[in-house]
Amino acid sequence: MQQKQIKSLLWFTKDLRPYDHEGLQTAIRESSGIIGVYCIDKEAYTVAKEFGFSKRSKFQLSLILEALEELKKGLQSLNIPLIVFDTTASECLTHLLEEYQIDQVILQEEWSFEEQKEVENLKSQLPNILFKTYLGQLLWHPEDVPYNLHQNELPDVFTVFRKKCEKQARVRPLIINHSIPTNCFKQASSEIPTLQSLGLPEVNIPPSAAFKFHGGYQEAQDRLHAYFFENHHIARYKKTRNGLLGTEYSSKFSPWLAIGALSPRYIYHKIKSYEKKHVKNQDTYWLAFELMWRDYFKYISLEHGNHLFKQTGIKKRQYYWKQDKREFLKWVNGQTGDSFVDANMIELQQTGFMSNRGRQNVASYLTKDLQIDWRWGAAYFESVLIDYDVHSNWGNWQYVSGVGNDPRDRKFNTQLQAERYDPKQEFQKLWLNHKH
């Protein structure tokens, strides 16, 4: 049998794990040498935009840096080095591919405009390099979904999508990644940068934060094990998921899912394992249900492309939106005078995290009460959320603002919501007292 001589560069983006990784599997199967690379676009985190906030979240970057430390160790155990750059892929990969005489680049497929533009730019600079992509951020693989995504068959309502997929699609088994026996690039390596070396201040999360966990895949798996098998919170998940205070009311998996330290398939198969060993009820199902919602937003963006970012949304609905910067910044800084909205916005500003219940309320308030352009809210969330995911963030903002997938186009009464979900005003008092 002829020995493999292909040299591969595995370009990590939102897939920071060394397990259940199709790209890693392809690289190991085909290559005599593999280098793992991650590129940090420093400017996205440090340069202030129009309203004084950066494009991307320092909270998420802090999590990414921790995840890279764990990923580096995990890859080392597979005989693969990881190199981390503090520049864009366009700036660093061209030189690296030449230096190591790379034959192919393997990466997780992204279909949002900016990510696609970066890949296309690289391809045009490197016509002799083979680019291989894989779809690794979905629960249901596109080949298994009972819709033709190129024929606009995806239903406008989530329930229709979910029911058909539950009947006809299957969640594939986990990929077990093995080490590469010999790797001609084994000595290649680099230090993982720190926030300080990137020119950013340290992130200090208040003790009362709902998400106060750390970065990598190992930490994510430990959290899952504790949430499922030690404390059995999953058996109460549907009843507690609308909570506002503490670390245990919901799974808190979303930050790790967003950076790919957890794979949705891993969570799904652990749910099934829990149901076999302990209990299967509406609560355990509901966590899988949330993973299905996440998939739906990814498929929506896959089908609708840049309409995800347009003011009229995927429904192409024309609404009158105010462009009131003063009112918008009051909302950003938790100064609207609505104590429930303000408490949630202060929590977000200080921790990078907000409950699902909070997100729906503050988005409804901005778009339905203040009638401010929903895209401003989506962009602010992008700049601060520790669990920012392009598809879920922009899809959810469209949903709440009435230009997306909500057939009811509802408006939240924030006062009634506060009375229902924070009857003793504990959440509001906690964060309003944190106000600077």
- The alpha carbon of 99 is separated from its chain's Cα centroid by a whole number of angstroms, namely 32
> Please, are residues 81 and 180 in contact by the beta-carbon 8 Å criterion?
no
* Cα(104)–Cα(7) distance, integer angstroms: 7
* Cα(290)–Cα(82) distance, integer angstroms: 32
Q: Which fold has domain 1-136?
A: Rossmann fold (3.40.50)
* Cα(168)–Cα(61) distance, integer angstroms: 38
Closest C-alpha to 98, from 120, 131, 129: 129
Per-residue confidence (pLDDT) for residue 4, from 0 to 100: 65
Closest C-alpha to 322, from 362, 367, 278: 367
> Please, are residues 400 and 369 in contact by the beta-carbon 8 Å criterion?
no
* Cα(14)–Cα(263) distance, integer angstroms: 10
φ, ψ at 49 (rounded to 5°) = -95, -160
Closest C-alpha to 307, from 257, 363, 366, 375: 375
Q: Which helix (H) or strand (E) holds 219?
A: helix 217-225
Q: Which fold has domain 310-432?
A: DNA Cyclobutane Dipyrimidine Photolyase, subunit A; domain 3 (1.10.579)
Residue ranges per structural domain of the chain:
1-136, 137-174+216-305, 310-432
Match domain 137-174+216-305 to its CATH number in 1.10.3720.10, 1.10.1750.10, 3.90.79.10, 1.25.40.80. Answer: 1.25.40.80
> Tell me, what amino acid is at 212?
K
Exposed/middle/buried for residue 205 (C-beta within 10 Å: 0-12, 13-18, 19+): middle
Q: Please report the DSSP string for 136-163 in residue order.
A: -S-SS-GGGSSS-GGGT---SSHHHHHH
CA dihedral 171, 215, 236, 19 (to 10 degrees): 20
All residues at 6 or more sequence positions from 260 whose CB lies less than 8 Å from its CB, including other chains: 13, 14, 15, 16, 17, 108, 136, 137
Sign of the Cα torsion 400, 402, 405, 407 reads positive
Per-residue confidence (pLDDT) for residue 429, from 0 to 100: 96
pLDDT tens track, the chain, 436 positions: 344 689 999 999 999 999 999 999 999 999 999 999 999 998 888 888 878 889 999 999 999 999 999 999 999 999 999 999 998 888 889 889 988 899 999 999 988 878 888 888 888 888 889 999 998 899 999 999 999 877 788 898 899 999 999 999 999 999 999 988 887 787 777 889 999 999 898 888 888 888 888 889 999 999 999 999 999 999 999 999 999 999 899 999 999 999 999 999 999 999 999 999 999 999 999 999 999 999 999 999 988 888 889 998 888 888 999 999 999 999 999 999 999 999 999 999 999 999 999 999 999 999 999 999 999 999 999 999 999 999 999 999 999 998 887 766 778 999 999 999 999 999 999 999 876 5
Exposed/middle/buried for residue 415 (C-beta within 10 Å: 0-12, 13-18, 19+): exposed
Q: Residue 338, SS3?
A: coil
Per-residue confidence (pLDDT) for residue 3, from 0 to 100: 47
All residues at 6 or more sequence positions from 254 whose CB lies less than 8 Å from its CB, including other chains: 387, 389, 392
Per-residue confidence (pLDDT) for residue 1, from 0 to 100: 34
Same fold, 1-136 and 310-432: no
